[in-house]
Amino acid sequence: MTGRFDISGHVAVVTGASSGIGRALATAFAEAGARVVGVARRAEALEAWRNETPGETAGVIADVGTPEAASGLSDQLTAPFGPVDILINAAGLNTRQAADEVTVEGWRATIDINLAAPFFLAQSLVGPMKARGWGRIINIASLQSVRAFPGGLTYGASKGGVAQLTRAMAEAWSGAGVNANAIAPGFFPTELTAAVFDDPERAARNAAQTCVGRNGQLSDLVGPALFLASPASDYVTGQVLYVDGGFTAK
């Protein structure tokens, strides 16, 4: 990758690198020449990602599921390759508790990992980005940032929050050269969406709701993420980019 889309040499931290969207983006960024620090709790899965990924990678085994933990990680995250240029917040969970059955534990865990972790990680890493006058934060929003789905009350609340958090990060930091945007994926097959894809009728219904006529493949997210991580998006900040095959267009 050359020119405006070039991210080679940049240091990227990717949470959720052990699985799904985070793993796919961590791999793609390493292939594009970034030095990638992958973060997750499962050591084996993180090691497997590293073994299968060319380029310069490091793994940090960490739980970012509390604000205290997320804000205390900057030393570990900068140890492998130095100050971070790009943060991708892809760690997340969906408890799928029906509205009447939402528990305090489920609510807290979801808000902490989906909404608090992206902020406190960014807050702990943004100082050197601002000092250098360049940085990128990419959050992962959702169709549920703007749509209500059954069993999605807590998840939707967290993802609506991610959309607004992204705008607030842009307001706070883009004057210093740190752009913050979010990618809102449609339906992509990962551990998180196994319940959706294990039900062929449900998967087909979701595919039919898109303009393109199919569900997402993880490779569909790579171009948008590289755009938002590179100088090509210097004048793009505070936005939510729906990578959903047109699901939200209909």
Catalytic residues: 155
> CB of 109: closest distance to ligand NAP in angstroms?
8
Bridge-based pairing state of the strands 86-89 and 11-15: parallel
Q: Name which of 92 and 224 has its Cβ closer to ligand NAP.
A: 92
Q: Which amino acid is at 176?
A: A
The residues, any chain, with a CB within 8 Å of residue 108's CB and separated by 6 or more, are: none
Q: Which of 34, 140, 178, 182 binds ligand NAP (CB under 6 A)?
A: 140
Cα 20 from Cα 132, distance rounded (Å): 31
* One-letter amino acid for residue 22 of the chain: G
Q: Which is nearer to ligand NAP, 1 or 218 (CB)?
A: 218
DSSP 28: H
The site that binds ligand NAP (CB under 6 A) totals a number of residues, namely 29
Stretch that binds ligand NAP, among 74-82, 84-92, 124-132, 171-179 (CB under 6 A): 84-92
Candidate ranges 12-20, 80-88, 129-137, 205-213; the one touching ligand NAP (CB under 6 A): 12-20
Closest distance between ligand NAP and the C-beta of residue 6, in Å? Answer: 25
| Choice between 48 and 168, CB closer to ligand NAP | 48
Phi then psi for residue 48, to 5 deg, are: -60, -45
Q: How far is the CB of 125 from ligand NAP (least distance, A)?
A: 15
In this chain, which stretch among 74-82, 90-98, 129-137, 164-172 interacts with ligand NAP, using CB under 6 A? 90-98
**Per CB under 6 A, does 91 bind ligand NAP?**
yes
CA distance 66 to 87: 18
Kindly state whether residue 142 participates in binding ligand NAP, applying the rule CB under 6 A: yes
Among 36, 88, 113, 169, binds ligand NAP (CB under 6 A): 113
* CA–CA dist 209, 43 (Å, integer): 37
Cα separation, 238 vs 220, in Å, equals 21
Report which of 2, 114, 1, 13 is spatially closest to residue 65, judged by C-alpha positions: 114
Q: How far is the CB of 103 from ligand NAP (least distance, A)?
A: 17
Please state, in angstroms and rounded to a whole number, the distance separating the CA atoms of residues 138 and 184.
10
Report the nearest approach of ligand NAP to the CB of residue 45 (Å).
5
**Binds ligand NAP (CB under 6 A): choice among 7, 11, 14, 21:** 21
Minimum distance from residue 220 beta carbon to ligand NAP (Å): 11
Spell out the residues 6+ positions from residue 62 whose beta carbon is closer than 8 angstroms to its own: 39, 40, 41, 69, 73, 76
The burial of 194, by beta-carbon neighbours within 10 Å (0-12 exposed, 13-18 middle, 19 or more buried), is given as: exposed
Binding footprint of ligand NAP on the chain (CB under 6 A)? 15-16, 18-22, 40-42, 45, 63-65, 90-93, 113-114, 140, 142, 185, 187-188, 190-193
